[in-house]
Each structure stands twice: as structure tokens, then as C-alpha cells.
Structure 1
Amino acid sequence: MSRQGIANFTTPQKAWIKGAADYMDHLGIKYSHNDLFKYHGMNKQQGWAILKEDLELANRTHHNSEFTKEQRRRPLKLSAKDLECCDRFLQDVGWDARVLTWDQLSTELDCHVCGNTLCTHLGSMDYMKCVACTKGWVSQKLAKKRISRSEDALKERPQPDDWKSVRFSDEVHWRVGPQGKMCIIRKPGERYCSDCIQEQLNRNDEKQWEAAHTWATIGYNFKSNLTFYNTPGNKNGKLSLRVVYRDQILEPVVKPWLVCGDTFTLEEDNDSGHGGGSGNNIVAIWKHKNKLDSYFNCPNSPDLAPIENCWQPPKQYLKQFPHWDEFETRELAYEGWQKQVTQQFINERVLSMPQRLTDCIEMEGRITDH
């Protein structure tokens, strides 16, 4: 049959012929091909050419047949049934499964595909990886306290230059191993609170990785070295009044600044190890004896302490290199602190304090973007 013989028939007409014949063949219905061809306005030669003879012309719509195996591309590595099992696993097991990496999830499900392939297939079901939120939730009681503290601080230090005499201190815990922020597999809309889904995670599982505990201080035109400290009796870096904070930080680090005549106010978070519990504990007595001027930041308010912004650059630096033991972790942390946290970066954040406090008040005590 020549090309001209079936050229007058459109692609949908050819598909109708092919589909009708396939359907009846599949169900075992007896029919006359001549009647089928005649019904669609073609002769026997044209009909058979479309059905089987001229592959170049007639089979261009071969893929439209639901009874013929798809041959235009490689078969999918995961079938619809496999994806259904993945979906059921993520729904039934819960967040313990959601925090696995794609490779770990593939191994758990015995999919025999790499993590990227599993990610692509689950992406068709709207599953995605998102970073576990670490932004704190603010209760009404805490919001009122944040507003009150911010108003008092603004009255005492209303101008950016007023904050040049404040040194902001904090502790951070570096983890052994190339772990970054925990990521969660979720679908859009899967949230368990108004802001984040972190409350569904067991954060205690992460403590086993905390190995290097550090204290540091920053201020206008001032940056201390990292002070690594030990926490006998616990692994979470919790400060104790005497063994850690007084003996490992205040005495060897802060006291020499006072002896040299440095004039500053030390900002601390409201950790009990900083001596905020009472005026008679050993840390409070040490501060009074050594004439250390200090104040406590509002609880759960990292956005009101510029030093919190200074931890992210060295943490990002740490992620660039494998670090499987405590010594490598400390060296990389020290390098990141020295190289990534510039004095200009610090000064800009210190001078932003009035704006931080103003934003906190205007946002009715909620966590700001600082």
C-alpha cells in the first residue's frame, strides 16, 4: 500500500481503527475487519495498511494502545505499586522515617534504587525534603516579657553607640560527623503547629553527636577566642556553676580582661549555669567580688543577642570538611571562627541592637528575623 493510499486519513481516524481492533481482539469479540474498515470509510487495503503493514505510517500511534507495552522509553525503575508502598511506609511509620536521607529510605524499603531516583519518583507524589524548623514558638507570656525587656533595654541604651560597651557571650556545641540540619520528608500542608514541625522530632537523639562544647564572646571591635570546656557528668554541654562556668570560663578567660582594665557589660543567656538562679550562688558571688557588670538576656530570645548570628558562618565552614573525631572538629571550628566571623560582621550586628529591640516591640514580642 503506498503512502498516498492512507494519506487522506487523519491521525485520530487511524487511532480509532487501531483502538477498536485492539479492544475487540483483547476481549475475544468476533467481528469483521471489512465491516470495521467500511464503517470508518476506507477499503480493505487501506484498513490493513493501518493495522499492520506499513510500520512507518500506520504505527505512529502505536503507543495509544492500552493493550500494547510501552516501548518509547526505559521502563520506570519504581512501579506504581512500589510508590504506593513508599507512601504507606511514610504515613504509617511516622517521623522516625521522615528524618531518613533518601539513600537511607531506599535501603529501608529495599527499593534497589539510589536515593536520587527515589527522590525523583516520590517528587511526583509531592514529597519533598525540607529543613526542620528551628525557629522558636513564643507564648503570650513570653511575648509580654520580651516586649518589657526590649522597652527597658531601649530606655537604657537607645542609640547604636550605647551598645559598644556590651560583650555578648554564648555557648555552642559542635558535632562530630558531617551532619547538617535535620531534614524531614513531608508533603505540602503536613504541619503540626502554626510555624514548624520540629515539635514532632525527638531532639534527644541528636545529643549523642555533641562532642565539642565552646564558649565565646563578641562585642564592638572585640572578638574572643573559642574556649573549649568539659562538662563532667553530662554529654549535652550543660554548664555547672563551679566546675564549668566559674573554673573554666570566668577565672581563666574573663578575669584577665577585668585585671587589664577593660570596661564592659557581659551579656549572658538565662542559663542556670550563669548564676541567674539567685544572688548567693558561687557565680553571683564571683561576679560581685570581681566587679563584673552583667545582665541576662530575655529567655528564649536568640534574636536579641548578636552572637547568635556569629555561629552560623563557622558551622557552614565545618560542613565543608569531613570531621569524624573530636580533634578535627575542634580544629575546624576554630578555623571557621577565625576566618568566617569578621570584626566588621560583628560590629554591624552589635550596632543593630536598637533596631532588634524596636522590631521585637513592633512585632508584639514574636521572634524577629534578626
Structure 2
Amino acid sequence: GIRIMSRSFLRSPRKSCNKLKEEHPEAFGKVKVRTLRDYAVKRLNFRSRSARKKPLLTATHIQKRLDFARQYKNWSKEQWRKIMWSDESNFEINYETRKKVRRPPYSKASGSIVGDPYQLKYLQKTVKHPAKLMVWAAFTGEAGRGSIYFLKHNKTLKAAEYLEMILKEKLQDTMDIHGATHFVQDGASVHTAKIVTNWLNANNIQYFNWPPQSPDLNPIENMWYHMKRSLENYDTRNLTKLEAAIKELWCRDMSLSVFMDYANTMPDRIKEVLQRKGGHTHY
């Protein structure tokens, strides 16, 4: 029975113990579902876990990821550190600087409100549509932080603004200062617009044909995560405070070693894509 259970869960990890019992009455017909759950955990160490969230990959996406990994599998950390990584991300205002609270144990049966998690002071206040700030930023592992650009509130980035205000105003000089050899942007329509690619080509800026659905290959995604976690220690209750906090974090708290560490992960990311035959990495 244990062997059947193991094979079944390895083939179909989303299968419930109820379903397992239905499919194998000869092995588990007389066994309670609770007992099956105990077997899964205690005998097989197959615990129920939350599935990791990743973008859906089609066969075409997988092939493009594989092609990319094969093309750059021999690149060194030194080469990846000379890449100018760029991306946009949305930051939300936060009415509370910390999301964790300390409170005593609560017992509803006691009739006391001491420790009641629904007291106002213990709640994380949310709003339906929090104000957001879109930010573009770039860095290299070799020289650290590059330029940063803030879009106006409630504006979406258009190709013309991307070209005029970011690429022309910020990218070229930043790449020269950093000694960057290549530029990375994902396949968003703003980035692949003809006016953008024409300008990059005309100015001899080398850029990657980035594989679609592949944020796990771009270390800037880890940078965004790090920044958003760090902002929990800042006052970001309105857009003015949020922008000031991001600027302070970017200019003061992001050290060169952080950016270098991000870029240095690239050989391992490439290796994982090859090992997983184009599938998702753990990044």
C-alpha cells in the first residue's frame, strides 16, 4: 500500500487522499482517510505544501529558454557582471511600516478581549486600490546601482517615454560609466517597440533577445524583492514618502556587494535551465 501511495503522489502531486482511496479500493478501501494522511506524512514524508507560483511555460517558451541557456552556458561571472540589467516594477503605499505584531494568546471562550487579533491595533489595514508608483531602474554587478526613473502617478509607461526619458536620458551615459557590454530588458511591448529597437541598433547598444516568461533568469527580480522587503522599515504612507524612501534605499542602502551577488548567480541560473530542460529554476 505504501508503495502504491508513493508512486501515485509522485505521478500526481495534487491528488488528495480521498481520491487515492477511490482509485485504489483494493489497497485502501478499509483505511480511513485520516490514516492515509498520517501514512503520507509519517511514513513517506509527503507533506501537503503550497505549490510555488511560476509563469506558465509553453513548448515554445521552453525551447527559447533552452536556446538562450545553450548560447550563454560558457559565460563567466565576470562577463555577467558587465551586463546592464533593467526592469520596471510597481511599488504600493503602505499604511503600516511593519506587517507583524506582538500580542498575547487569545481565547474566545474566556470572554476577554485581551489579545483579540481583530482589535484595531493588531490589524494590517488594507485598501481596495492602493496608490502605486512605477519605477524603472538598472544596475551592473561590476559597478552597482545605475539610473532610476519614477513614472508619474497612475501613468503607464509608453514606448515614446521609455525611449526619450529613460534610454536617451539615462541609459547610454550609465552604460558608458559602468563599462557595460550588453543591455538587458524583458520582452514587454514597450521594450520591443520599433522606435526602441531602432534606437538601440543605431547607437550600437548590444542587447539580448530575452526569452519570454523568464523573470527567473533576470537577477533584477531579486533586487525588487529585496527593496520591497526593505521598505517595510520606511514610512511609505503616501506617494511622496514612498518615492523618497525608494530614493534613499537606492542611493544609500544598496551596496555594491549586493548587486555583484545578484549578477554572480547567472551561471547557476543558466545551469539550472539546462538541467531542467528549459523548465523553471528555483530563482
Fold equivalence (TM over 0.5): yes
Check the 8 A contact 1:176/1:323 in 2, yes or no.
Answer: yes
1:221 equivalent to 2:142? Answer yes
CA distance in 1, matches of 2:152, 2:207: 24
Paired residues for 1:43-192 under 5 Å: 134-154=53-73, 157-178=74-95
Paired residues for 1:293-308 under 5 Å: 293-308=206-221
Displacement of 1:365: 2.0
Instruction: Tell me the amino acid that sits aligned with residue 84 of structure 2.
Output: R
Over 3 Å counting, the alpha-carbon distance change for 1:307 and 1:151 in structure 2 is same
CA distance in 2, matches of 1:137, 1:322: 36
SS of the equivalent of 2:216 reads helix
Residue matched to 1:320: 233
Count residues in correspondence: 206
Check the 8 A contact 1:229/1:248 in 2, yes or no.
Answer: no
Over 3 Å counting, the alpha-carbon distance change for 1:329 and 1:364 in structure 2 is same
SS of the equivalent of 1:147 reads helix
Bigger Cα Rg: 1
SS of the equivalent of 2:207 reads strand
Q: Which has the higher contact order (CA 8 A, sep 6+)?
A: 2
With 352-361 and 158-167 compared, the bigger mean Cα shift is at 158-167
Instruction: Tell me the amino acid that sits aligned with residue 187 of structure 2.
Output: N
Check the 8 A contact 2:131/2:239 in 1, yes or no.
Answer: no
CA distance in 1, matches of 2:57, 2:253: 31
Check the 8 A contact 2:82/2:179 in 1, yes or no.
Answer: no
1:343 equivalent to 2:265? Answer no
Q: Unaligned regions of 5+ residues in structure 1, if any?
A: 1-129, 181-205
Displacement of 1:353: 1.0
Over 3 Å counting, the alpha-carbon distance change for 1:320 and 1:257 in structure 2 is closer
Check the 8 A contact 2:235/2:245 in 1, yes or no.
Answer: no
Residue matched to 1:6: none
Over 3 Å counting, the alpha-carbon distance change for 1:140 and 1:263 in structure 2 is closer
Over 3 Å counting, the alpha-carbon distance change for 1:210 and 1:333 in structure 2 is same
Displacement of 1:145: 2.0
SS of the equivalent of 1:217 reads strand
Over 3 Å counting, the alpha-carbon distance change for 1:290 and 1:258 in structure 2 is farther
SS of the equivalent of 1:273 reads helix
Displacement of 1:366: 2.1
SS of the equivalent of 2:262 reads helix
Residue matched to 1:209: 130
Instruction: Tell me the amino acid that sits aligned with residue 62 of structure 2.
Output: A
SS of the equivalent of 1:226 reads strand
Paired residues for 1:24-43 under 5 Å: none
With 257-266 and 222-231 compared, the bigger mean Cα shift is at 257-266
Instruction: Tell me the amino acid that sits aligned with residue 141 of structure 1.
Output: T
SS of the equivalent of 2:280 reads coil
Over 3 Å counting, the alpha-carbon distance change for 1:295 and 1:210 in structure 2 is farther
Check the 8 A contact 1:310/1:341 in 2, yes or no.
Answer: no
Residue matched to 1:365: 278
Displacement of 1:132: 9.8
Check the 8 A contact 2:147/2:174 in 1, yes or no.
Answer: no
CA distance in 1, matches of 2:250, 2:128: 22
Q: What is the root-mean-square deviation in Å for CA atoms of aligned residues?
A: 3.0
Displacement of 1:322: 4.1
Check the 8 A contact 1:240/1:273 in 2, yes or no.
Answer: yes
Query: CA offsets, 1:66-108, max 9 Å, x none?
Result: xxxxxxxxxxxxxxxxxxxxxxxxxxxxxxxxxxxxxxxxxxx
Query: CA offsets, 1:260-295, max 9 Å, x none?
Result: 694421011111111x25xxx211222122222212
Displacement of 1:258: 5.7
SS of the equivalent of 2:208 reads strand
